[in-house]
């Protein structure tokens, strides 16, 4: 089990020479996800060696340009690269119509199946699940309909505890399948040996919560509680809390409050307004409330083994 997050872009919308709009690449339990896709994402994917073909699922938080204007270019490139595999795209209602219209007017060669999962619920919902990972929405509150996403590794089965099993002559290979399946063993004398004694707990399942543009919204805390890694936007410092409220963004302090309430292990902040040139001020402000905070920077990798 492992989790590796590559920050591609982590700034807000105004274009600057070395500031790129939101995009992240997440590898979790051998699944590969792209999260948001601002303009220029595909070039950053090349730069930071993100394999285009590994990605089968793209999650878009909301339809502001700095979070999805790079999607159409990436899809066109998949067409040029003759992709054949299905690609799943999750995002707010409207994403399908605008994407298909763009592909149509450019007479794109993209022939691979694109499966759109359009979201409109205001409640957290399970939107993806396989044997390795599940993904839930985190309903946020911004100027347009917006979701964050919670990525969680599936729990692996308990492993055989061969030392404890060795203590019982009667228990042999023939029982292993039942034990792995969670069953207790009944010895010939009627004694019940609990499954817990015969197995070892698997490694903890890791989780990553991505909370893109949102006002301070403490009611997301129950959804993201105890996650290993939380990304939460921090567009402003507390000196601009009024502006954050007005534009439905958060301050670094507010992001840290969410991290603290949710008892996460580590917080990453990003989506800095172009007003600020010194990003370390964001870290300093957040760390007053939540110590284990780091700042997102283009190309930075966060990994947990």
Could you say which residues in the range 88-127 bind its own copies, by CB under 8 A?
94-95, 97-98, 101-102, 105-108
Residue 194: count other Cβ atoms within 10 Å of its Cβ.
10
Beta carbons of 264 and 224 less than 8 angstroms apart: yes
Strand order of the β-sheet with 126-129 is 126-129, 133-139, 147-153, 207-211, 229-233, 266-270, 293-295
Beta carbons of 150 and 136 less than 8 angstroms apart: yes
Q: Does 60 bind its own copies (CB under 8 A)?
A: no
Task: Give the CA distances from residue 302 to residues 127, 222, 305, in Å, rounded to whole numbers and listed in that order.
Answer: 24, 24, 10
Q: What span, in angstroms and rounded, lies between the C-alpha atoms of 134 and 117?
A: 15
Stretch of 9-17, 23-31, 195-203, 224-232 contacting its own copies, by CB under 8 A:
9-17
Buried b (16+ CB within 10 A) or exposed e, 122-153: eebeebbeeeebbbbbbbbebeebbbbbbbbb
CB of 215 to its own copies, least distance (A): 16
Q: Does 47 bind its own copies (CB under 8 A)?
A: yes
Q: Does 34 bind its own copies (CB under 8 A)?
A: no
Q: Does 14 bind its own copies (CB under 8 A)?
A: yes
Residue of 77, 124, 141, 266 interacting with its own copies (CB under 8 A): 77
Specify whether 219 is catalytic: no
- Give the interface size with its own copies as a residue count (CB under 8 A): 36
Count of residues in the chain = 305
Residue of 40, 139, 148, 270 interacting with its own copies (CB under 8 A): 40
Residue of 76, 195, 205, 287 interacting with its own copies (CB under 8 A): 76
Start-to-end Cα distance in the chain: 7
Q: Does 36 bind its own copies (CB under 8 A)?
A: no
Q: Does 70 bind its own copies (CB under 8 A)?
A: yes
**Which is nearer to its own copies, 126 or 144 (by Cβ)?**
144
**Which is nearer to its own copies, 70 or 148 (by Cβ)?**
70
CB of 121 to its own copies, least distance (A): 18
User: What would the x/- binding string for its own copies be over residues 135 to 164, using CB under 8 A?
Assistant: --------xx--------------------
Both structure tokens of 263: 């008892």
Strand partners, 11: 21, 272
Category of 226 on φ-ψ map: left (φ > 0), alpha (ψ -120 to 50) or beta: left
User: Which residues of this protein are in contact with its own copies, per CB under 8 A?
Assistant: 13-17, 20, 39-40, 42-43, 45-47, 63-65, 69-70, 72-73, 76-77, 80-81, 94-95, 97-98, 101-102, 105-108, 143-144
Residues with catalytic function? 66
């Amino acid at each position: 089990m492992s989790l590796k997050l590559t920050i591609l872009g982590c700034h807000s919308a105004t274009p600057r020479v070395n500031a790129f709009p939101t995009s992240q690449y997440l590898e979790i339990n051998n699944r590969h996800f792209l999260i948001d896709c601002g303009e220029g994402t595909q070039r950053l994917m090349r730069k930071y060696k993100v394999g285009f073909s590994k990605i089968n699922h793209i999650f878009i938080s909301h339809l502001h340009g700095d979070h999805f204007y790079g999607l159409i270019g990436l899809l066109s490139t998949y067409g040029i690269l003759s992709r054949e595999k299905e690609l799943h795209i999750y995002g707010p209602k409207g994403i399908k119509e605008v994407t298909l219209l763009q592909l149509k007017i450019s007479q794109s060669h993209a022939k691979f199946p694109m499966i759109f999962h359009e979201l409109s619920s205001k409640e957290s919902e399970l939107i993806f699940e396989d044997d390795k990972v599940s993904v839930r929405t985190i309903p946020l509150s911004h100027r347009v309909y917006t979701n964050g996403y919670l990525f969680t590794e599936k729990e692996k089965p308990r492993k055989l505890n061969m030392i404890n099993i060795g203590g019982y002559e009667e228990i042999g290979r023939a029982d292993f399948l039942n034990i792995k399946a969670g069953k207790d063993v009944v010895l010939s004398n009627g004694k019940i040996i609990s499954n817990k004694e015969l197995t070892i707990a698997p490694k903890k399942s890791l989780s990553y919560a991505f909370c893109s543009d949102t006002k301070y919204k403490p009611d997301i805390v129950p959804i993201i509680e105890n996650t290993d890694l939380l990304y939460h936007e921090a567009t402003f410092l507390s000196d601009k809390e009024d502006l954050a409220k007005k534009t439905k963004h958060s301050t670094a302090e507010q992001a840290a409050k969410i991290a603290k309430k949710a008892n996460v292990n580590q917080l990453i902040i990003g989506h800095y307004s172009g007003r600020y040139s010194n990003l370390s001020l964001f870290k300093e402000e957040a760390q007053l409330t939540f110590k284990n905070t780091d700042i997102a920077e283009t190309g930075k990798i966060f990994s947990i083994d």
